[in-house]
Structure 1
Amino acid sequence: MANITEVAAAAGVSISTVSYALSGKRSVSPDTRRRIEEAVRKLDYVPNAGARMLAGRRTQIFALTEPLRKDTHAPTHMAFVLAASVAARRHDYDVLLLTEEEAQKGMRRVATNRLVDAILVLDVAPDDARVALARQISCPSVFIGVPLDSEGLICVDLDFEAATARAVDLLADAGHTTIGLVGQAQAAYEKSNFPPRVRSAFLRRAEERGMASFHGTSGGARASRSAARRTAAELTGRGATALVLHTAEEAHGSVLAELAERGLRVPEDVSIVSVGSSFDTSHLPRPLDSFPLDPQASCDAAVDLALAAIDGHPDAAVHLIEPSYHPHGSIAAPAERAV
C-alpha cells in the first residue's frame, strides 16, 4: 500500500501539503489539489481513519523531548531545538521542551494529558526507552534519528551511510589509497545510532574501493581537543593521506591545529572531508569540504511528518534525507601524485 511520502513525491509537493489537501485544514491551489488527487488515485492511497478522528482537537503545540545529560554536546543539541522551533512556527505551532534525563516520563505525561498534538523525539539512542512508549501512546511521535528497532515508528534522519560512502569515494577518486576516520567519543558509539553507522559505512566503502583504512575516536566532551589531536597524529603517522572527520566543531579545529603543527598542509599534504557536521565548516581556520547534518532540513521533515500523522496520514517508515556536498577545496591528489 502506498504511503503519504510516495503521494507527495508523485504530486511534486511536500508531505504537509498533501495532508492539508486531504484534511481540508488549509486551502491549496486548484492545480496542486488536482495533482494530489491524481496521485492518490493512481497510488491507491488510503489514510488512516482512526487518526483522522483524533485530528479534530488541536492544541497547536508540539512536545520536543530532548534529555539533557552530563555528556550532552549543547551546541549540537540546541541547534536542533532551534530548528524544530522554527519549523513548528512556520505552521503556527509552539514547542514544549521536555528535558528530563529520564525522557519517557515527560513524554508519557504530555501524551496522557493530551497537552500536545504530537511529540518530536531528539537525541535518539540505539535502545531508546522512548521507542516502546511511542508504540503505546495514541499521540503521534516522530523520531529525529533512527533507533535500532524502528519497526512501526516514524523516523527522519540524514542518510549517514550515503554521506560517508560519498566522502570515501571523493578521496578514492582523488587517488588516495590510505585513509583515516577521526570519529566521535567512544561513548557515542554506545549511546547513539549514527556514529556506528558512519564508522561501518567508512570501513565498508574503503574496503570496496580497495583502500587501507584506520579509525580512532576524539574523546569525551572535555577531552575532545587533545584526543582529536592524538588520533590525527596517529592516523597520519600510519600513512593516511586523507582524513574523514565525524566529530564536534572543537575537535575539527584540533585536527587542523595538529596538522599545522606537524607542517602538514590541507589539502597539499592531507585531504580532509567532514561528514555529519551540524556547524558550518567554511568558518573553520581552514574551510573543509563537508556532507553536513542540516538540523533545519531534519526538523522541517519531522514537522511535516508530524502534521501528516495528526491529520490521519501516519507513515511508519524511516525517511532518510539525501546528503548534500559542500566543497571548499580541502581535497586534492596525494602529494606524491600531485602534478
Structure 2
Amino acid sequence: MVTISDVAKAAGVSISTVSYALSGKRSITETTRRRIETAIRELDYEPSAAARMLAGATTNILALSAPIHDDGHLPTHMRFVTAVVDTARQHDYDVLLLATDDDVSGIRRVASSSLVDGVVAMGVKAHDDRVDLVRGLRLPAAFIGVPGGGDDLACVDLDFEGAGELAIGTLADAGHREVGVIGHPPSYLERDTGFVQRFNAGLERAASRRGIRIQVASPTLARGAAERAYDELASGLPDMTALLFHCNEPVVEAVLRRIRDLGLEVPTDLSVFAACASYDTEHLPTALSSIPLPLDQMCRIAVESALHQVQGIDAPGVELIAPVYQDRGSVARPGR
C-alpha cells in the first residue's frame, strides 16, 4: 500500500509538506505543489481525502456516529458528544451528530453526499458493521473503542482488559477473597458491546490467577433492580468483603443507598471500588476509589486521528490507554 511517506520521497519533500499540500492549511510554492500532485498520480495514492483536498473541497465538518440506545445513560453519552465537539472546534471543525440512525445508514448517507470530511464512531461493538463501511468508502475515520477486525483503522480506548485486571489486583492486594461485581445491563452483551466483553475477560483472568471468587450481577434499568442486584450478591457471597462497580452512575448511587440503609460502613464493613468510571467518584454520597475512564483524552485522540487522515496522514492503528488507580479511601483490608 502506498503511504504518504512514499509520496513525500517521490516528490523530494517532507511528509509535513505533503500534509500541508493536502490540507491547504499552509501555503507552499506552486512548483512543490505540482511535484506532490504528480507523485500522487504516479503512485496511485488512494486516500479519498487526497483528491478532495487538492481540489479544495473540504467541508470542515466531521460526522459523529453515536446511536442512542434505550439502555444507555444519556448524560454519559452526551459527555462523549461534548468532548468530541470541543476538540473539533479547536481545529475549526463543526460536528454533524448521527444519533437516530442505525450504525451504518447515517454514515453512508453523509458520505454519498460529501457532507463531511470524515467520521468519528462511538458505541463500538465487538463486530461493528461500520468497520467494513468506512474501509470500503475510504473515508477518514476514527473509532472510540476497538472493533474486531479494525486493527488497521484509527481506534482509541481505555485498556479495559487491563482495567479488569487492575481492579481485581487492587482488591486482592488488600486481602479480599470474595468480590461481588455489579455490571452493565444484560442488553449490553446481547448487542455485542466490546468494552464490556474486554473488561469481563480481564476481570475473570485476574480472578482465576489470584484465587478470587467473584459473582456478577447485571441489573436492568427497572426501578429497584440495582438494589435487588446487591441483595443477590450478598446472598450468593455470604463472605463478600468487597464490591466492584462496572456500571453507570445511577446504579452506583442506588446501590450505595442500599448499603447505607443496611447500616454498612464503607470501607469498614465493605470495600467499594468503581472501575472505568465516566463520572466523578469523589462527589458521590460516598467517595469511591476508582479507575477513571479517560473520556476527554479518548475523544481528543479520536478527533485528531480522523483529522490527520483528512490531511492525508495514515491511520495510526489501535491505541490503548493504560488504566490508572485513584485511591479515595473506599478500599481497606477486610475486618479493619
Shorter-chain TM-score category? Answer: 0.7 to 0.9
Q: Which AA in structure 1 matches 2:109?
A: R
Q: Which AA in structure 2 matches 1:23?
A: S
| Alpha-carbon shift at residue 91 of structure 1 (Å) | 0.9
Alignment of structure 1 residues 156-167 onto 2, 5 Å: 156-167=156-167
Residue 216 of structure 1: aligned partner: 217
In the alignment, structure 1 residue 130 sits paired with structure 2 residue 130: yes
Alignment of structure 1 residues 151-230 onto 2, 5 Å: 151-191=151-191, 192-219=193-220, 221-223=221-223, 226-230=224-228
| Alpha-carbon shift at residue 20 of structure 1 (Å) | 5.9
Structure 1 unpaired stretches of 5+? 5-17, 28-47
Equivalent position SS for 1:103: coil
Residue 229 of structure 2: aligned partner: 231
Q: Which AA in structure 2 matches 1:196?
A: Q
Residue 330 of structure 1: aligned partner: 330
Residue 113 of structure 2: aligned partner: 113
In the alignment, structure 1 residue 75 sits paired with structure 2 residue 71: no
- Computing the radius of gyration from Cα coordinates, the structure with the larger value is 2
Task: State the Cα deviation string for residues 275-318 of structure 1 (Å, max 9, x = none).
Answer: 12211111110011111213211100101211221122222622
In the alignment, structure 1 residue 53 sits paired with structure 2 residue 50: yes
On the 8 A contact 2:305/2:316 being kept in 1, the answer is no
Residue 302 of structure 1: aligned partner: 302
Distance 2:263 2:114 in 1: 60
| Alpha-carbon shift at residue 88 of structure 1 (Å) | 0.5
Residue 45 of structure 1: aligned partner: none
| Alpha-carbon shift at residue 147 of structure 1 (Å) | 2.0
In the alignment, structure 1 residue 85 sits paired with structure 2 residue 82: no
Equivalent position SS for 2:277: coil
Equivalent position SS for 1:276: strand
On the 8 A contact 2:241/2:269 being kept in 1, the answer is yes
| Alpha-carbon shift at residue 128 of structure 1 (Å) | 2.3
Distance 1:131 1:21 in 2: 30
Distance 1:170 1:305 in 2: 33
Equivalent position SS for 2:186: coil
| Alpha-carbon shift at residue 263 of structure 1 (Å) | 1.7
Task: State the Cα deviation string for residues 111-169 of structure 1 (Å, max 9, x = none).
Answer: 11221111011111233222221121122111111223324322111111111211111
Residue 11 of structure 1: aligned partner: none
On the 8 A contact 2:289/2:328 being kept in 1, the answer is yes
Q: Which AA in structure 1 matches 2:46?
A: G
On the 8 A contact 1:19/1:307 being kept in 2, the answer is no
Of 118-127 and 147-156, more deviation after overlay is shown by 147-156
Distance 1:101 1:288 in 2: 36
- Cα distance change, pair 115–243 in 1 and its aligned pair in 2 (3 A): same
Q: Percent identity?
A: 38
- Cα distance change, pair 19–302 in 1 and its aligned pair in 2 (3 A): farther
Of 313-322 and 326-335, more deviation after overlay is shown by 313-322
Distance 1:197 1:227 in 2: 24
Of 192-201 and 89-98, more deviation after overlay is shown by 192-201
Q: Which AA in structure 2 matches 1:146?
A: V
Residue 31 of structure 1: aligned partner: none
On the 8 A contact 1:151/1:316 being kept in 2, the answer is no
Residue 65 of structure 1: aligned partner: 65
Task: State the Cα deviation string for residues 65-88 of structure 1 (Å, max 9, x = none).
Answer: 111233332111111110100011
Distance 1:113 1:19 in 2: 30
Residue 34 of structure 2: aligned partner: none
- Cα distance change, pair 170–21 in 1 and its aligned pair in 2 (3 A): farther
Residue 23 of structure 1: aligned partner: 19
- What number of residue pairs does the alignment pair up? 300
On the 8 A contact 2:71/2:187 being kept in 1, the answer is no
Alignment of structure 1 residues 278-293 onto 2, 5 Å: 278-293=278-293
Distance 2:180 2:105 in 1: 41
Q: Which AA in structure 2 matches 1:199?
A: N
Residue 260 of structure 1: aligned partner: 260
Distance 2:160 2:16 in 1: 31
On the 8 A contact 1:181/1:202 being kept in 2, the answer is no
Task: State the Cα deviation string for residues 259-278 of structure 1 (Å, max 9, x = none).
Answer: 11222111111111111221
Distance 1:188 1:153 in 2: 24
In the alignment, structure 1 residue 312 sits paired with structure 2 residue 312: yes
Distance 1:298 1:167 in 2: 20
Residue 40 of structure 1: aligned partner: none
What is the TM-score normalised by the length of structure 2?
Answer: 0.82
The alignment's C-alpha RMSD in Å is 2.4
On the 8 A contact 1:19/1:311 being kept in 2, the answer is no
What is the TM-score normalised by the length of structure 1?
Answer: 0.82
Distance 2:279 2:106 in 1: 29
